[in-house]
Amino acid sequence: MTDVLTNYDQSPPKRPTFLTVLCILTFIGSGWGLINGITQYFTAESQVAAMSLVKENVNAEMQKVSDANPGGKMVSEMVGGMLNVFTPENVKKMALAGILAAVLCLAGAFLMWGLKKKGFYSYIAGTLVGIITPFVLFGAGNLLAMGMSVMVGFIGLVFVILYGVNLKHMN
């Protein structure tokens, strides 16, 4: 009987300050990712048009360089290969995957804010979506896919490790 009464006197577990800071950083980053994904989805055509202009300028400059330097032709082909996969359809697919990744990470942060361990796994799922999607859309050998995945993977891995340190405080 006294155990039942003493349970009411206990306050809920307190969230560590470090976990609070990580969650706030995730709210900001994932919120920004969500807004960015939505914006990217609705402006895909104009982004591709802008990249086409950049591609034309790069090709013109690379043509000048490739005449004098044999490595310039290889660089021109690499840039062309990266930009060839930059289509409105692929931009929209990347935007949708970015939105999904942001929602999973945001949901994970909200759950971890409430000290729920399920949030950690949701955050990992969101990070994996962000890492895998460029390879699925652009191919494993694409330089653009590698760059995007490395960037998302590095930041995601750091946060997964930092959240993992705080798992002992979650239920």
What is the pTM for the complete model shown? 0.78
Q: Can you give the pLDDT at residue 67? A: 62
Confidence of residue 81 (pLDDT cuts 50, 70, 90): low
Q: Among residues of the chain, what percentage have pLDDT more than 70?
A: 78
Q: Where are the domains of the chain?
A: 16-169
Please check the confidence at residue 31 and state whether its pLDDT lies above 90.
yes
Question: In Å, what is the CA distance from 117 to each residue of 16, 31, 114, 155, 160?
Answer: 14, 21, 9, 20, 12
Distance CA 107, CA 136 (A): 24
* pLDDT tens-place string over residues 136-151: 888 777 777 788 888 8
Confidence of residue 99 (pLDDT cuts 50, 70, 90): very high
